[in-house]
Amino acid sequence: MVWPWLVDEAIPAWVKKNYSPRESWKDKPFSKDDALFFFKGIEELSEIFTEERGRAITHYFNHPKFRSGYLLYFLPLQAAKFASVFQLHPGAMKAALDHGRKTGTLRVLDLGAGPGTASIAFLAWALDPRLSGSEELPPIEFHWCDTQAKIMEDGKQLVEMLASHFPRLRGKVRVVTTTAPWTRFASNFSQATSLVLLGHVINEASFAAQTGRDSDEQGLDPATLAISHLETRAEGGGILMIDPAARSSSQKLSRLRDQLLEAGKIENAPTAIWGPCLHAGRCPLAMGRDWCHFSIPAEIPGHYFKVFSKNLGSEKNWLKFSYLWLAAKSSPAPTPSQELRRVVSDVIDSSTVLLCEPEKVERLGVNALSGIHRGDVINLNERKSGLARSAPSGIVIRPRR
């Protein structure tokens, strides 16, 4: 299976060979001592992400200890989020694959790529025939954009190693890198895409917006303008954006969605959005105390990943994120039933949950033992959860208790 091999063998061996300070260490198996050595960078990077994000966010990949730490720990963590969302929306993934087969090349645009985290999650999905089917894959062409060239080069080498290891991908994967701000690159990209992936870049764009960048005549900021341009190029699976579960980043994503709808950049219909939205009205959580985010119980494979998590003081038993998946005009999402509602809270005071409605949230009385949780889709007539809880091979989404 791809995940255990990637997380426990391929990445640790590659990091040790390329980032060990002594030549005599580089060709030896990754060990407990190596984990202790590289954990220093993981720990410092975790502090940057949680405490200093606005100040240091654009510079951490300049440092080898942070690049190696990201590859060992944060790449599997963030890739698991993409892998889980891929599985929550199989129709969007099928649309991407069908478009790639139809055009002869499955072109994936990965913006703010870093080491190609989202692209690696895509390849893991493609390698699982239970998810992508047993039919032969078309050629896959990744276009990565990031301001940090060195981390993209690291990721490119990992992708090439992954593709050469599995016959299903051998000779089929190509990576093209561009060093530039993602908004500028996206605004000038002219080729049709089968899928566009953005990981944690809308959140980081919110910091850039505070530096005084101007919006256009419609009041659209640079990130929204770039996404609106991509929407004209996006075919197949459309555009998937995943950001942290924090209120500021989640509400930035909600406001971007509303701006695109109100400016007519995407069709004002539920079929323009794969998820999480079931309506095309204004997001009721774009402002205020509550925000749209999700927590999925998960077990990310990897012995050393678990060691690093414990040393950080928190085992990763949950994947927490916010996301928005825009559908391509040529491959719209299915029209949701009018009886379906998305639950956007955990159970409150053992008696109610919040439901997403256009421009507002509604309260629904529930039994504390109903088994309904944040992110579930329920039928108002039946009040039964309808959201599948599963993930690609190697990532175990544990059933709710």
Mean predicted confidence (pLDDT) in 122-127? 97
> How far, in Å, CA of 390 to CA of 356, rounded?
23
Write the pLDDT tens digit of every residue in 322-381. 999 999 999 999 999 999 999 999 888 888 999 999 999 999 988 766 778 889 998 888
- Return the percentage of the chain with pLDDT > 70, whole number: 89
> How far, in Å, CA of 374 to CA of 216, rounded?
36
> How far, in Å, CA of 227 to CA of 260, rounded?
8
Q: How confident is the model at residue 241 (pLDDT cuts 50, 70, 90)?
A: very high
Instruction: Provide the pLDDT for residue 57.
Output: 53
Task: Give the Cβ contact number of residue 191 at 10 Å.
Answer: 10
* pLDDT higher than threshold 50 for residue 215: no
In the predicted model, what is the mean pLDDT of the chain?
88
Q: What are phi and psi of 84, to 5 degrees?
A: -70, -40
Write the pLDDT tens digit of every residue in 129-188. 999 999 999 999 999 999 999 999 999 999 999 999 999 999 999 999 999 999 999 999
Pairing of strands 294-297, 273-275: unpaired
The alpha carbon of 32 is separated from its chain's Cα centroid by a whole number of angstroms, namely 30
- For residue 94, give every residue at least 6 positions away whose Cβ sits within 8 Å of its Cβ, in sequence order, or none: none
> How far, in Å, CA of 123 to CA of 111, rounded?
16
Q: Domains in the chain and their CATH numbers?
A: 2-326 (3.40.50)
Tell me how far CA of residue 97 lies from CA of 15, 94, 137, 238, in angstroms. 31, 5, 8, 11
Lowest mean pLDDT among 51-55, 221-225, 256-260, 310-314: 51-55
Q: Is the pTM of this model over 0.95?
A: no
Q: Where are the beta strands (DSSP E) in 182-265?
A: 195-199, 239-243
